[in-house]
Amino acid sequence: MRKIPAFGLGTFRLQGQAVIDSLRNGLEVGYRAIDTAQIYRNEAEVGEAIAASGIARDNLFLTTKIWVDNYAREKLVPSLKESLKKLRTDAVDLTLIY
């Protein structure tokens, strides 16, 4: 089991280049936990920032949250797969139901 880092970067209300810049700066100073959510509508930018950082995915603790619109049985798994695609990863460390 992976240990959750004590401090992490939240991405609530960050959009576009602000997400990328915030994550770049946070990762540069040592943050290794990143939190996002489907409803934040910034998972693609989070994925872009992670990819650009050069930090191995195994060295990050990535959390996303499934939005209420995707709770239905037929929507939950497809929505998570879409999140993974946007985040440019094949797994997250923690998935929460928002």
Q: What is the pLDDT of residues 23-33, one digit of tens each?
A: 999 999 999 99
Average pLDDT (53-82) is 97
Q: pLDDT value at position 2?
A: 78
Q: Is the pLDDT of residue 35 over 90?
A: yes
Q: What is the pLDDT of residues 41-67, one digit of tens each?
A: 999 999 999 999 999 999 999 999 999
Give the separation between CA 7 and CA 77, rounded to whole angstroms. Answer: 28
Give the separation between CA 96 and CA 98, rounded to whole angstroms. Answer: 6
For the entire predicted model, the pTM comes to 0.94
* Cα 25 to Cα 17, 72, 82, 87, 92, distances in angstroms: 12, 37, 26, 18, 21
For 36, the token pair is 């996002």
Residues serving a catalytic function are: 40
Give the separation between CA 67 and CA 76, rounded to whole angstroms. Answer: 9
How is the chain split into domains, by residue range?
Answer: 8-97
Q: Looking at the domain that runs over 8-97, which CATH code has it been given?
A: 3.20.20.120
